[in-house]
Amino acid sequence: MKTFKRLLLGALSLIVLLYPQTIDVYKRPVQVERSRDFDFIHYLIRLNIDIGSKAFKGRMTGTLRPLRDGLDTVVLDAEEFTAHEVSGEQGEPLAFEQAPGRLSVKLPRTFRHDEKYSFTVGYEGRDPKNGLRFYDASAERPAMVASDSWPYGVRHWFPCYDYPNDKTTSEIIATVATGNKVVANGRLVSVAEDKAAGTVTYHWLQDKPHSTYLIFLAAAPYAVVEDRLGAVPVNYWVYAQHAAQARRTYGKTPEMMAYFNSLFGYDYPWDKYDQVEVPFGGGAESTSATAMGERVIVDERAEIDFPSLGIVSHELAHQWWGDLVTLRTWSEAWINESFATYCDYLYFEHALGPDEGAINLLNKKNAYLQEARERYIRPIVFDRYESPSNVFDSHSYPKGALVLHMLRFILGDEAFFRTLSAFLHEHDFDVADTHDFRKAVKTVTGQNLDWFFEQWLYKPGHPVFEVSSDWDKTAGMVRLRVRQVQDRSRGIPVYRMPVRIGIVTENSTQSHQVWIEDEDEVFEFQEAARPLLVRFDDGHFLLKELIFSKSPEELLFGLQRDDVIGRIEAASALARLAKENGMREALKAAAEKDPFWAVRESALRALSQSGERALVSFFKNRCSDTHSRVRTAALSALGEFRQPGMAAFFSKHFRQERSYLAQAEALKALGKTGDPAAEAFLKEAEKIPSFRNIIRDAAQQALKSLSGD
């Protein structure tokens, strides 16, 4: 084989932390955990909701216990509604004062810390901009109302102490026009219809404590598709027109629940689990009732490219991570989101196999690295924010999930999952923070991993490893030099971590574990035969960027014999050699025959960078691949040739294709042909309804390309 210069594996992400940061997160204000004088025990919320006029009348009866002696005034969070009366336990009027954002209630006397007291607030509101959202009827949805309580939305539809460090039981009695159904947290106590008034009243009781932002309500003429896991009802509340898609979208929920029950060693803790279609967002966990955006619903074709597996498993995992055990303060967002994000990976791997799991983790890593490149780096546990939404980002979601994966690697599976179970049991129906979790690790495993938490949770950034290897034939030794080259000017540490080194020869495959402790280290491994492949971080456990010089021969071997991530990386690195005969044929073989779709896709994208017209016929053949992402990559490559003569091919493929993504790519490729005859076809395609309007948007983009815009 012709000899080439060594190529940098991972060079596209070379020293990412030298990229400019567009946001200085350290200029944001420091936030601290909110103090309180009382502990709410229970909220009873009675609501009369007029969906048509977007108005509501409410009565909130709150039962609390003082946390200090001498409590004589209770200050509640209250926005976008007007309180008109407050009464005590015997119905006697209580003095109150409402100011922007707060409602102060004067208690009838001073109370000690060991007493309880209940009072009732009567109030009313109309069309609030936050917290309780009203929607007009449209072609997409019926007229309806749904709460949007996270992070401070509950205070917009009933007065309360609205911060996650107070857990309370709750009860909702909601009256709406007949024809609607009301869903809320907990178990359904009763449904009562008043035919004379034309109303129906639903009574829901959540008798296990949860935080206020997890209190949920929605009312609409829902279709309820019933399911269950053993004695636990598992129901899907969807718009009537989506009833046929409900099981396709949510039907794996009982299986997921059984898996998580076993994995966590803690059975699902609530009375039931509802997934409720709403007009906003993707998914928003609430105790026993998760709000699911209407864009989550998939039809048979959308399921090809946009399966709901990830969001359904993520939101279900929140019933343990976030709802059962809840972050003490918003700066601890990872307690909710990193754990739930890691759980959706765990289910992916369980349901679809290790290769799909590996791609899931790779996508999480890339999402975090994009934020690190383009926006900012920060510690995962971070108390600087203007709004809690600031810390619900790719540090709290994917980076934290990857940190948990590393912790699992260090502890081992048995100790890791035993720690998770112990943490859940220790802090169930309560709030917790990183110190609590760190303590659980010590208690369960006996290991002091303070160093791990310090560098990964309390420091920003991640390691950038520059690795080189050589083989000393005389000594029979592989030498590996590992340097940490991350920019340390912003508090990024030198990392201490175990790492596995894989060495593959003609006769053996070995994996050695070493500890990285310094900026610059050399490791030696006895090896009599020349390595065909040297892997740094065998198994891909570390969150890192890697600069590792590889010869074309080693990359070619990796393309054919490495694990799925290694094969993808090798294909990408070989892109610059795609015009060389040996490399071109190897990439073509990978694009056609590799057993995993993501490798075939990566090889196709590498080949497309050559721009060789001789590959047109090959790309056309790959448009019949069994996986839609590979077909999409092939169509994208063909589109870049911008050949008017291919317009008929793209039109035909659009008509035959089942995947929305591949159809959209066929339209975009058609626009790049410049064939004026394609305009009528594209305008017709623009009218075709599709999931998330993918076809319409692609047709519009193609029309712009066609016109030269």
Last residue of a domain, one of 317, 350, 383: 317
> Quick one: 356 and 500 in the same domain?
no
pLDDT at 2 over 60: no
For residue 44, what are the β-bridge partners?
61, 171
**Separation between Cα atoms, residue 363 and residue 629, nearest integer Å:** 15
> Quick one: 281 and 251 in the same domain?
yes
* Residue 9: per-residue pLDDT: 52
| Number of Cβ atoms within 10 Å of the Cβ of 389 | 12
Is 128 part of any domain?
A: yes
Element (H, E) at 455: helix 450-457
In the numeric block, the tokens 């799925």 are attached to 564
pLDDT digits 0-9 by tens, 102-125: 999 999 999 999 999 999 999 999
Cα-Cα-Cα-Cα dihedral sign, residues 99, 102, 104, 105 = positive
- In which band, very low, low, confident or very high, does the pLDDT at 23 lie, cut at 50, 70 and 90? very high
pLDDT at 7 over 60: no
Residue 251, classed as helix, strand or coil, is coil
* Residue 308: per-residue pLDDT: 96
SS3 of 166-214: CEEEEEEEEEEEECEEEEECCEEEEEEEECCCCEEEEEEEEEEEEEHHH
Phi, psi of 382 (to 5 degrees): -145, 125
Contact 204, 189 (CB under 8 A): yes
Contact 341, 397 (CB under 8 A): yes
Buried-exposed string 130-144: b where 16+ CB fall within 10 A, e elsewhere: ebbbbbeeeeebbbb
Over residues 5-32, mean pLDDT: 66
- In which band, very low, low, confident or very high, does the pLDDT at 19 lie, cut at 50, 70 and 90? low
Burial class (CB in 10 A: 0-12, 13-18, 19+), 542: buried
What DSSP line would sit under 354-405, residue for residue?
HHHHHHHHHHHHHHHHHHHHHT----SS--B-SSGGGGSSTIIIIIHHHHHH
Is 16 part of any domain?
A: no
Last residue of a domain, one of 457, 491, 517: 457
Q: Give this prediction's pTM.
A: 0.95
Q: How far is CA 438 from CA 335, 402, 446, 450, in A?
A: 12, 17, 11, 7
Is 5 part of any domain?
A: no
- In which band, very low, low, confident or very high, does the pLDDT at 219 lie, cut at 50, 70 and 90? very high
Phi-psi region of 506 (alpha: psi -120 to 50; beta: other; left: phi over 0): alpha
> Quick one: 292 and 353 in the same domain?
no
pLDDT at 259 over 60: yes
pLDDT at 176 over 80: yes
Number of domains in the chain: 3
Q: What is the CATH number of the domain that holds 393?
A: 1.10.390.10
pLDDT at 549 over 80: yes
Contact 659, 627 (CB under 8 A): no
Phi, psi of 61 (to 5 degrees): -105, 115
* Residue 17: per-residue pLDDT: 43
Is 10 part of any domain?
A: no
Residue 80, classed as helix, strand or coil, is coil
Instruction: Name which of 235, 205, 215 is nearest 223 in CA terms.
Output: 235
Give me the domain span that covers residue 344: 25-31+330-457
Q: Which two tokens stand for residue 632?
A: 């999409």
Residue 609, classed as helix, strand or coil, is coil
* Residue 10: per-residue pLDDT: 47
pLDDT digits 0-9 by tens, 295-304: 999 999 999 9
Q: What is the CATH number of the domain that holds 597?
A: 1.25.10.10
pLDDT digits 0-9 by tens, 577-586: 888 888 999 9
| Number of Cβ atoms within 10 Å of the Cβ of 632 | 24
Across the chain, mean pLDDT equals 95
pLDDT digits 0-9 by tens, 489-524: 889 999 999 999 999 999 999 999 999 999 999 999
> Quick one: 453 and 505 in the same domain?
no
Element (H, E) at 44: strand 38-50
Over residues 340-354, mean pLDDT: 98
* Residue 20: per-residue pLDDT: 61
* Residue 410: per-residue pLDDT: 98
Is 324 part of any domain?
A: no
> Quick one: 670 and 583 in the same domain?
yes
Type of residue numbered 611: G
Q: Give percent of the chain with pLDDT exceeding 90.
A: 94
Residue 147, classed as helix, strand or coil, is strand
